[in-house]
Amino acid sequence: MSREYDLGYLFARERAKGAGVADLDAHLGDMQREAPESKRCVNMLDGKGNRCFGSVLVVKEPEEEPKPGEKRKKQKLWCAKCLEKKAEENKSKAGQQHKADYRDANREELNEKNAERKEDRRNDPKLHAHDQQVNAEWRANNAEHIAEVSAEYRANNAEKIKNDMDAWNRSEAAKVSKADYRDANREVLNEKNAERKEERRNDPKLHAHDQQVGAEYRAEHQEGRKEYMDAWNKSESAKVCKATYKLTPKGIEAAERYRRSAKGLESNKRYREKHREALKAKQDEWNHSPMGLLVRALYKMVKGEHWNPQSFPSLGSFASNDEAKAHFEERFEPWMSWENQGRHIKGNEYNDTWNIGHALPRKIFNQWEQEDLRRCWHPDNLFPQCARQNTELRDALIYTDAELLTMRHLWPVGANDDLEQLKGLFQFVDHDFIRSKLPVEAGPSGLNDGFVSDDASSTSG
């Protein structure tokens, strides 16, 4: 099937699309144009039945078949003069109003057809490139007009825009889109958010406003926030987040400040009174566990007070009190002595006292596995460590992969000789971050030089 067009109209239409004269001739040839034939314009000039009957040079071009259920639209053959006049009428106020009324009455159908047309042009590389270029040029040439129209539209439709945005923000599509965007731009967003907060915090007026808004929100949503926080505190994410925060400089300082406060001391006292029996049972259980027995046995050996050591010789570690004592004394730092050996007491500074530290902490070993006990209490895993540092680091992972690989002979059985599985046994925290929280003047206690660099920190025993 084909449709008939006036040659002048068709020429003007193709020229408007950016085609040159040579391109136009080729294009008309591609449409398998037949020799022009003369017909008469059928445009109705008035309501009395008078028609134009102007001369029309007809050109035929292929027409797509209508979709199932659609009727073929009846063609009106108009001359170039009538078409030009119709275009001028369309630009008039009456014409604009007529088109607006038509669009409102046929919104869904027009949107659907427009979407199909855009998709067709988008799938055609040549047409898509042409559209992109035309759109870019138009936006560049009409930037001020676009800004004015956009501002006017926003001012006149503020309520509608707000309602539309609220509806979209509540939709599932919005949630998915925002989550994907945050995941793809996490670092950039965090950095910008930190900068924005810092700027507002440094502006007294903005800071006061934020404080007021925050207080009002908390007061208004007190119940909802309590339910949300209760649910979050029970989640695995909260446990990991809190455990990681406790090892940061800010977390350690906050915990220490709370423990020393009257509220912290009172809370600790109430907890111990309320759970006295449970704490006593837990301590008794620990004292009689394999780890607990070995802790006490080694403490007596380094003190020279163990009258008959058997546990450590059976593990292949220290055969006597003197051997155990010599092992730690050889690894003393300048500030260490047998007089300042002891546990960490709240308020003590770094390098006040030392105790027995484990390069790989006891917690990652299975105390019911004999091989794990042998590796945990191997001399290479034991060293004298600053007591405060030992308490703060606990079981954090603070080693690089290279450092961990030098300790392969000490890895617990549960690691299956796999580095990633070993790291999964730790409460993971970045080792650079942990090292940075230690005071420069004190410095970390040195580990066994045989397997860790001099600047490495240690984990707890």
| Extents of the domains making up the chain | 2-66+73-105, 152-184, 222-265, 275-436
Residue 81 vs residue 238, higher pLDDT:
238
pLDDT of 39 over the 80 cut = no
Q: Is 144 exposed, middle or buried (0-12, 13-18, 19+ CB in 10 A)?
A: exposed
d(CA 297, CA 308): 10
pLDDT of 315 over the 80 cut = yes
pLDDT of 36 over the 70 cut = no
Residue 90 vs residue 236, higher pLDDT:
236
pLDDT digits (tens, 9 = 90+) for 358-370: 999 999 999 999 9
pLDDT digits (tens, 9 = 90+) for 284-293: 998 889 998 9
Nearest to 55 by CA among 76, 77, 75, 33: 77
Nearest to 391 by CA among 430, 455, 431, 445: 445
Beta bridge partner(s), residue 355: 385
Lowest mean pLDDT among 37-41, 137-141, 356-360: 37-41
Average pLDDT over residues 5-13: 54
Res. 254 pLDDT band, cuts 50 70 90: confident
Q: 436 — phi, psi (to 5°)?
A: -65, -20
- Residues contacting residue 419 through CB under 8 Å, at least 6 positions apart: 401, 404, 405
Res. 444 pLDDT band, cuts 50 70 90: very low
pLDDT of 438 over the 50 cut = no
Res. 459 pLDDT band, cuts 50 70 90: very low
pLDDT of 193 over the 70 cut = yes
Q: Which two tokens stand for residue 73?
A: 């639209």
Lowest mean pLDDT among 4-8, 101-105, 200-204: 4-8
Q: Which two tokens stand for residue 252?
A: 């350690």
pLDDT of 331 over the 70 cut = yes
**Residue 426 pLDDT:** 81
pLDDT of 184 over the 80 cut = yes
Question: What string of H, E and C letters represents the secondary structure of 314-353?
Answer: HHCCCCCHHHHHHHHHCCCCCCCCCCCECCCCCCCCCCCC
**Residue 33 pLDDT:** 46
Q: Which two tokens stand for residue 122?
A: 């988008």
**Residue 56 pLDDT:** 60
Lowest mean pLDDT among 85-89, 122-126, 213-217, 354-358: 85-89
pLDDT of 98 over the 50 cut = yes
Q: For the chain, what is the mean pLDDT? A: 79
Percent of the residues in the chain that have a pLDDT greater than 90, as a whole number: 25
Maximum mean pLDDT: which of 14-28, 45-59, 237-251, 356-370: 356-370
pLDDT of 458 over the 60 cut = no
Q: Which two tokens stand for residue 403?
A: 């450092």
**Residue 452 pLDDT:** 34
d(CA 229, CA 221): 12
Lowest mean pLDDT among 66-75, 131-140, 210-219, 263-272: 66-75
| Helices marked H in 276-414 | 276-287, 290-303, 311-315, 321-329, 370-376, 387-393, 401-405
Res. 457 pLDDT band, cuts 50 70 90: very low
Percent of the residues in the chain that have a pLDDT greater than 70, as a whole number: 75
**Residue 104 pLDDT:** 87
**Residue 349 pLDDT:** 86
pLDDT of 59 over the 60 cut = no
pLDDT of 14 over the 70 cut = no
Residue 374 CB coordination number (10 Å): 15
